[in-house]
A = this chain, B = another copy of it.
Amino acid sequence: MADYFKGNTEYFPGIKKISYEGPKSDNPLAFKYYDPEKTVGGKKMKDHLRFAVAYWHSFCADGSDPFGSATHVHPWTADASSPMEAAEHKLDAAFEFFTKLGAEYYCFHDRDMAPEGSSPAESEKNLMAIVAKAKERQKATGVNLLWGTANMFNHPRFMNGAATNPEFKVVALAASQIKTAIDATIELGGEGYTFWGGREGYMSLLNTDLKREKDHLAMILTMARDYARGRGFKGMFYIEPKPMEPSKHQYDFDVETVAGFLRHYGLDKDFRMNIEANHAELAGHDFFHELETAASMGLFGSVDANRGDPMNGWDTDQFPTSYTETALAMYAILRAGGFTTGGLNFDAKIRRNSVDPADLFEAHIGGMDAFAAGLIAAQRMIDDGKLSGFVKQRYASFDSGEGAKFEKGGMSLQELAALGTVYGNAGITSGKQERLENIVNQYLLNL
């Protein structure tokens, strides 16, 4: 990988390329577990994990929150004389960060990368100009685009929804924005295109036509899919479930809801889930649950890697630090076949009061180490087969005989009921939950 940022202004001076130093290192700017070229289960760590940096949190967000103004000062914005120049400086800062960190991928919204213009045409022009520069930097650095998306939640025009807006004109503007964002994604060789519907929901049911809004959403997704496929896009489309916030209720509530929606509207061949830990939790689910649920339906795609705080009821988007959670996540992902077009995108932000430039690095390092450690543990779980062997054995009565006949659909209720004539001790078999939990812990502590 070329040292991209030479010749440009260095926006993170004093920070060198992050390297692996092992679990005992006390260098906060070194990896303890993530060793990109190390092979785990026959594949390099970096190819398993496919880390991506989120453009919005890392280079656009400014530390403001509903009760406080910006705390994060961005030198890449400060030294520019126009919004477009600022956008290019931000691009420099981003690629400097990607390469110093050693991330293979990034993700962006259209408006993260280039400023909105005074018309859709100008917005498109702005975006495509920066995309051209991003393409050069991708080539120079080897960093690639995991997926692109369109920001259809920030602007006031989307306050009542984008694809689900009650005004047709806004739906048309959304379509225009999606088309451009798809074009940008294709131009940058993006491996996916994501929909997160922050305003696709409602603030009040009293003014909402649920059926019409969901039909419109499906229509737009269908049209977007057809457009991109028509342009030769081979990547995956993702829906990112989230139950609420900013809307009171969002249509892409959780994996099950989205699965039902995709199947109902015939979109389940082209769309997969982009699953976020924090969103899972807000919907009342463990991250592991959402991953396993998507995988069990063949709809797992990619991950927005972060964590929430179960004591806080909003999207805190913290960097992942729970090794138990990352181990179970990687266990689900590996068993689902690993990432193909997807990856681990850090949809995570440093805290408002983390104002040192190094904090952004340390936060990503912590997250990457958490998933690297999780990967190692998960591979061991798979290799020794204790967990999966237990599960397989638990359902063995359906592998042959009457159980297998039942499973294949070859029985009527009468026939099946006729087999259930003696109570005996049926069903009184321990689930061994505590043992399995201890086993998971042991993998983690023996990295």
Contact = CB atoms under 8 A, between A and B. Distances in A.
A288 B414 CA distance: 39
Contacts of A428: 71, 156-157, 159, 355
**Of residues A175, A373, A436, which shows the largest number of chain B Cβ atoms within 10 Å of its Cβ?**
A175
Interface stretch (A42-50, A98-106, A279-287): A279-287
A379 to B, nearest CB: 16
A180 B416 CA distance: 12
A179 interface: yes
Contact of A426 (B28, B170, B245, B260): B170
A314 B206 CA distance: 21
Contacts of A254: 253, 257
Contact of A178 (B174, B283, B413): B413
A270 interface: no
Interface in A314-347: 314-316, 319, 321-324
Q: State how many copies of this chain the complex holds.
A: 4
A51 B391 CA distance: 32
A373 B67 CA distance: 32
A4 interface: no
A323 B365 CA distance: 21
Given A354-B431, A397-B169, A426-B170, A413 B67 contact: no
A135 interface: no
Contacts of A121: 421
Interface in A248-267: 248-249, 253-254, 256-257, 259-261, 263-264
A438 interface: yes
A351 interface: yes
A427 B159 contact: yes
Given A249-B289, A311-B284, A314-B245, A391 B157 contact: no
Contacts of A281: 310-311
A177 B323 CA distance: 44
A246 interface: yes
A81 B312 CA distance: 41
Nearest to A365: B438
A344 to B, nearest CB: 17
B120 A432 contact: no
A406 interface: yes
Given A313-B314, A353-B433, A441 B321 contact: yes
A233 to B, nearest CB: 12
Interface string A428-447: 11111111111011101111
Contacts of A354: 430-434
A423 B157 CA distance: 8
A204 interface: yes
A8 interface: no
A24 interface: yes
Contact of A433 (B120, B203, B263): B203
Interface in A93-140: 118-121
A12 interface: no
A391 B414 CA distance: 49
A80 to B, nearest CB: 20
A292 to B, nearest CB: 6
Interface stretch (A83-91, A141-149, A186-194, A207-215): A207-215
Contacts of A355: 159, 428-430
Contact of A421 (B120, B324, B390): B120
Given A204-B431, A432-B207, A67 B176 contact: no
Contact of A71 (B159, B178, B413): B159
A224 interface: yes
A234 to B, nearest CB: 18
25 contacts: A65-B66, A66-B315, A67-B154, A68-B156, A68-B199, A69-B155, A157-B428, A160-B429, A169-B397, A172-B416, A204-B437, A205-B289, A208-B391, A222-B409, A243-B284, A257-B257, A321-B441, A351-B433, A351-B434, A353-B430, A353-B433, A366-B438, A366-B441, A369-B438, A445-B445
Given A207-B433, A244-B284, A445-B445, 7 more contacts: A70-B156, A209-B395, A210-B296, A244-B312, A256-B256, A351-B431, A366-B438
